Structure 1
Amino acid sequence: MNRAGMVRIAAFGIIGLGAALLIAALLLTTYTSGKIKKIPLNIDETLVSDGTGSALDPASLTGEKFVVDKNVPLVSQQQITVESPANADVVTLQAGTSVRRSDKQQDNGLLLAMVDTVTVNRSTAMAVSDDTHPGGSVQKPRSIEDNKPPTNIALPHDGLAYRFPFGTEKKTYPFFDPIAQKAFDANYDGQEDVNGLTTYRFTQNVGYDADGKLVDPIKYASLYDKNEDGEVTARAELWGLPGPPDEPVTMTRYYAAQRTFWVDPVTGVIVKSTEHANHYYARDALRPEMELADYKVTSTEQTIESRVASARDERDRVGLWSRVLPISFTAAGLVALVGGALLGTFSLRAESALIDPGLDTADHGFFGKDETGPMPAAEAATEKLPAARPDLEPPPPQR
């Protein structure tokens, strides 16, 4: 095989490579990108919020009167991990949430605890639930002395849970509240910068109106078999009520909350949150009589930094597969196609020159007519000018 043939084969190879790169760019844009924009399967994170509020003193439960302490320091902690099932389409998130007084030691300061499990779509972050598969559960409360394995109570979930979808929009989303056991609207409320990351802010009201007024509190759904913490009967003296001290008074537990989420719109990661929650006992839902826990907490700076870093990592992963690689492959593919076409033209001319050497003469140079020969002026005939003849008159005759 001559050199021109080898060049032609190389040209075809480069053109094929360029076409392959363009096809790869198209697939990355239309197919692979959708596969990448999914909730990761390796989530294992601890989210911490702190603040202050009013809280029942657990020691007073055995005293002569229930005591509510004001302005106590509180810490809310949420541990989120991935459980089964978790595959290409869905992921199951288990969230263990606790609220405790940080001025009390160990379990003496524990106010609230819940373990919620939900299976969500990895792309939309919506709970996956139907009549046969509730898609979620809550763990039945256990006493400190109970060493038996935990048991779960099926709890159908709907709406979003623990994060927003990829490509979050400026609209209202249903967001599930495991305490109220149903979803409430999370309304878009503006755009805000959080540690250099542009986020969408969403607000959610559960039992409150937009002005923070109690309008429709939720009757607490007890997880105990006999509703031990949903309704409590105690002597009027314990409740701190006037009248006969030994008169039994039954109160119902209610719940209301206000939340704000700051969400990375690209990945749906909640990078910051605030929560005002109110658990109280009352005979009239709109007239709280004794606070169990009324507090407001905000994500700690360490948690915010960690969540922003997670959002940026997911952004980078999505950007690599949906923008950087498609653009790079497209540019490289176009360069390869153009380069291959030029190399192919070069090989054809080279092969033609080898077959017919005359094509490489002055009139058929490799790239056309040979323009390197002598200039026309150099080939023009020179004009000879006549020289003047000398005077040849004969000498005069001799005498």
Structure 2
Amino acid sequence: MALSAGTRRTLACLLVGIGALLIVAAILIPTFTVSKVAKTPLDLEITTVGKNPADVTSEVLDAKSLTSGTGPAKVDTKVPLISQRFLTVEDPSDKNKMTIQNGQTLRRIDKQGDTGLLSAIVDRVTIDRKSGMPVDTDPNGSIAANVDAKGNSIADPVQHTGLEYRFPIGTEKKTYPYFDSNTRKSYDMEFVEETEINNTKVYHFHQQVPATDLSKVVNSPTNKLTLPAAKWGLDEEGDVTMSRFYANTREVWVEPQTGTIIDGSEALNFFYARSADKPEVTALKSTLKFDENTIDSQIKVAKDNIDKLSLYSRILPIIFGIVGAIALIAGIVLGLLGERGGRTGRAVPAGRHTPRTATGDEYSDAPTQQIDFREQR
């Protein structure tokens, strides 16, 4: 059944309106919606595992040897280590900021139970969900590295000053400040190169943490020890006081669209010394690197967030733009056809007629009469 001219005009206007609306939406979605979606999700829950490669030096001080026996302290070699981090989102968190809590342990897996635990910390920091930088409130975080007499962790307020667990949404090829929880300071994290991990584009960054006297950072009994010189392995008389120093070479590989850390490694060096430039007794020296399961898991997290960003920044605008253009063109065409149909089928007003031009055919069937001229004479 053919549509009337009025119906066609109405439908044409409707299509033009819908088309224009979809085209406007295609333009506005990347501008306004993406800025709201491009944030670290509040349901973040990540577990990372780091292990020391078998072919890399891994030395750990036997703590019991410091206080027992008469010989020098013993340093174990080829020690298998595992570092575990469990990141969750805690309060306060909202549409602009989020509080990340990281529970981290470092263990030697050749010993069972508490005897294998080398360190444990709980680090909390409130960050901006887009830039990844800590918020300006003071303090914006805390670190619990010690326990009280009852075994409860003691959280010290700590002002965090750089990136730590995530990079910005839209990471750039530049140097960023990156917070180190052991020294409680930020150091430059320098861009190295663009590369790929399992077909995923990543940016490689490098950070060097200089040897730092931890006794000046955290008031902990293990950060400064006074022992007989022989216990330190020194050929001296009397007691010698040494501080615990820490240095680190950190490498991270970041997926730039989401700021997700895909891979990471840390070359840790804890040692006792009287001077930062002269290590005397190793406390812990090893390199820890994300295992393959962690890398695969981090890639999945990054790709899930990339898909979400792509939906609003590219897929929906393209779909809305194409459908909007089709609707707009269809509306214009339908409107033109409706206008033409209206002119063609216009009725003639009553009381008026259209003159017709006679042709030979119109008289071909008319009745004729033969005239006899003889009768008229």
TM-score grouping bracket, smaller chain normalisation: 0.7 to 0.9
Q: C-alpha displacement at 1:85, in angstroms?
A: 1.2
Whole-angstrom CA distance in 2 between matches of 1:198 and 1:222: 40
Q: C-alpha displacement at 1:180, in angstroms?
A: 1.0
Q: C-alpha displacement at 1:82, in angstroms?
A: 0.5
- Root-mean-square deviation (Å): 1.9
Corresponding residue for 1:331?
322
| SS of 1:137 mapped into structure 2 | strand
Kept in 2: contact 1:98–1:113 (CA 8 A): yes
Q: Deviations over 1:245-285 (max 9, x none)?
A: xx221101111100111110111100000110111110111
Corresponding residue for 1:179?
182
Is 1:231 the counterpart of 2:224? The answer is yes
Whole-angstrom CA distance in 2 between matches of 1:316 and 1:87: 23
Is 1:53 the counterpart of 2:21? The answer is no
Is 1:312 the counterpart of 2:306? The answer is no
Corresponding residue for 1:268?
259
Kept in 2: contact 1:267–1:315 (CA 8 A): yes
Q: C-alpha displacement at 1:121, in angstroms?
A: 0.7
| SS of 1:72 mapped into structure 2 | coil
- Which one-letter code corresponds to 1:72 in the other structure? V
Is 1:220 the counterpart of 2:214? The answer is yes
2:275 to 253, 265, 284: 284
Q: C-alpha displacement at 1:196, in angstroms?
A: 1.1
Within-5 A mapping of 1:41-120: 41-51=42-52, 53-64=58-69, 65-120=72-127
Q: Which runs of 4+ in 1 moved over 3 A?
A: 221-224
Whole-angstrom CA distance in 2 between matches of 1:15 and 1:262: 49
Kept in 1: contact 2:193–2:205 (CA 8 A): yes
**What is the TM-score when the length of structure 1 is the normalising length?**
0.82
Is 1:35 the counterpart of 2:36? The answer is yes
Corresponding residue for 2:23?
22
From the superposition, tell whether residues 147 and 218 of structure 1 become closer, same or farther in structure 2 (CA, over 3 Å): closer
Q: Deviations over 1:286-326 (max 9, x none)?
A: 11111111110111001000001111111111011111111
- Which one-letter code corresponds to 1:335 in the other structure? I
Kept in 2: contact 1:205–1:257 (CA 8 A): yes
2:336 to 342, 345, 357: 345
Corresponding residue for 1:146?
150
Q: C-alpha displacement at 1:61, in angstroms?
A: 3.7
Whole-angstrom CA distance in 1 between matches of 2:221 and 2:216: 7
Corresponding residue for 1:210?
none
Whole-angstrom CA distance in 2 between matches of 1:221 and 1:115: 19
Q: Deviations over 1:86-131 (max 9, x none)?
A: 111011111112211111112111112211111111111111134x
| SS of 1:239 mapped into structure 2 | coil
Corresponding residue for 1:371?
none
Q: C-alpha displacement at 1:4, in angstroms?
A: 1.5
Q: Where does the alignment leave 5 or more consecutive residues of structure 2 unmatched? A: 350-360, 362-377
Q: Deviations over 1:106-165 (max 9, x none)?
A: 2111112211111111111111134xx32111125116x7254x4421100112121111
Whole-angstrom CA distance in 2 between matches of 1:114 and 1:72: 21
Identity of aligned residues (%): 38
Corresponding residue for 1:372?
none
Q: C-alpha displacement at 1:40, in angstroms?
A: 0.8
| SS of 2:271 mapped into structure 1 | strand
From the superposition, tell whether residues 354 and 125 of structure 1 become closer, same or farther in structure 2 (CA, over 3 Å): same
Kept in 2: contact 1:129–1:158 (CA 8 A): no
Corresponding residue for 1:128?
135
Q: C-alpha displacement at 1:186, in angstroms?
A: 0.8
Whole-angstrom CA distance in 2 between matches of 1:37 and 1:343: 40
Whole-angstrom CA distance in 2 between matches of 1:79 and 1:206: 23
Q: C-alpha displacement at 1:357, in angstroms?
A: 6.9
Q: Deviations over 1:312-370 (max 9, x none)?
A: 11111101111111111111111111111111111112222232479xxxxxxxxxxxx
Kept in 2: contact 1:172–1:186 (CA 8 A): yes
Kept in 2: contact 1:58–1:108 (CA 8 A): no
Whole-angstrom CA distance in 2 between matches of 1:73 and 1:43: 30
Kept in 1: contact 2:44–2:88 (CA 8 A): yes
**What is the TM-score when the length of structure 2 is the normalising length?**
0.86
2:240 to 242, 245, 249: 249
Q: Where does the alignment leave 5 or more consecutive residues of structure 1 unmatched? A: 208-216, 359-378, 380-399
Whole-angstrom CA distance in 2 between matches of 1:11 and 1:296: 69
Whole-angstrom CA distance in 1 between matches of 2:136 and 2:242: 34
From the superposition, tell whether residues 101 and 121 of structure 1 become closer, same or farther in structure 2 (CA, over 3 Å): same
Within-5 A mapping of 1:347-366: 347-356=338-347
